[in-house]
Amino acid sequence: MKQVLQIFVVGWLLLLAQSSDGLALVGGKMIQGATPKNIGLSLRHSTNPDIQLAHHTEEEWQEFLRQRRAKRNRLKRQRRERRLRRKASRSKRFDAKTTKRRQSRRRLARAKTNRQTAVKKRTGLYNRQEVSYRSGEKPGTVIVETSTRHLYYVLNNKRALRYGVAVGKQGFSWSGKSTIKRKVEWPTWYPPKSMIKRKPSLKKWEGGQPGGPKNPLGAAALYLFQGDKDTLYRIHGTNAPSSIGTAASSGCIRMRNEDIKHLYSKVHNGTKVIVR
């Protein structure tokens, strides 16, 4: 520590050496007009020199030290403030990203919950079941209520079997009276020309898509006629059971494959069908 102090003192004395009134006591000797040379010689030839400063020089030295401490403290404070600002900025960016991620996860979770709830509601509402139903039609008549997405097979005593269905989307819906004149299990699907025009990718099935799990007509189809004229509308199964309860078809009435099989076993050619 003493050596460090000596170095500082020597540096200060070297600065004072340029002034005419610089005074230094080196090795017990007062040096008037101290210069780097004579101070250096005195220090080199003194084994443990006691360095003292003249009164006015000591005050200047203390002032210098005070200023240096103040500068050092100011620089430390500025560095600390910069670190805090950087830390706050990083924390703010991190918090913003974290908040966005959390909000995104919450939105996805809510959407998933809503979808699951909607599916559960649809599943319960559109399950096959026997219900009370006043229609005024004879037993064995098929009635499709497009507004509620239900198909009713009329029974005796004002009862009916109710099935969930998907109906034609806007611009493709159909209503009226018709008759079933053809029943086919796992039918071949022939896309209408108007549909091929809307969806050119269906041109490959212009000659017919064989029946099977991927066929849009599903497990069975009931062909609707008005007199001897094919309406081109069907009551059929589907390869998209999640669409039941919606308006998603191109005008035909979709049913779950298990439901169309159940209805298929009950109706016959000549059964009256009312779509309203």
Assigned domain for 60 exists? no
Q: Which amino acid is at 24?
A: A
Assigned domain for 158 exists? yes
Do residues 126 and 244 touch, judged by C-beta distance below 8 A?
Answer: yes
pLDDT tens digit string along 62-104? 888 889 899 999 999 999 998 888 888 777 776 777 777 777 8
Assigned domain for 77 exists? no
The residues, ordered by sequence, that sit 6+ positions from 14 with a Cβ below 8 Å of its Cβ are 36, 39
Q: Are residues 172 and 40 in the same domain?
A: no
At 271 the pLDDT is 97
Cβ atoms within 10 Å of 137's Cβ, excluding its own = 15
Q: Are residues 263 and 142 in the same domain?
A: yes
pLDDT digit string (tens) for the chain, length 276 residues? 555 566 666 565 555 554 444 444 444 444 444 444 444 444 444 444 455 555 557 788 888 888 989 999 999 999 999 888 888 877 777 677 777 777 788 888 888 777 766 766 665 788 899 999 999 999 999 999 998 899 999 999 999 999 999 998 765 677 899 999 999 999 999 888 888 888 888 889 888 999 998 899 999 999 999 999 999 899 999 988 888 888 888 788 999 999 999 999 999 999 999 999
Q: Which of 35, 53, 71 is the last residue of a domain?
A: 53
Query: What is the total count of domains within the chain?
Result: 2
Backbone angles phi, psi at 46, to 5 degrees: -110, 125
Which residues belong to the active site?
236, 252
Q: Are residues 144 and 7 in the same domain?
A: no
Assigned domain for 91 exists? no
Assigned domain for 248 exists? yes
Token digits of residue 71: 């500068």
Give the domain CATH number at 223. Answer: 2.40.440.10
Output the pTM of the full model.
0.56
DSSP 64: H
Residue 175: which domain range?
A: 129-275
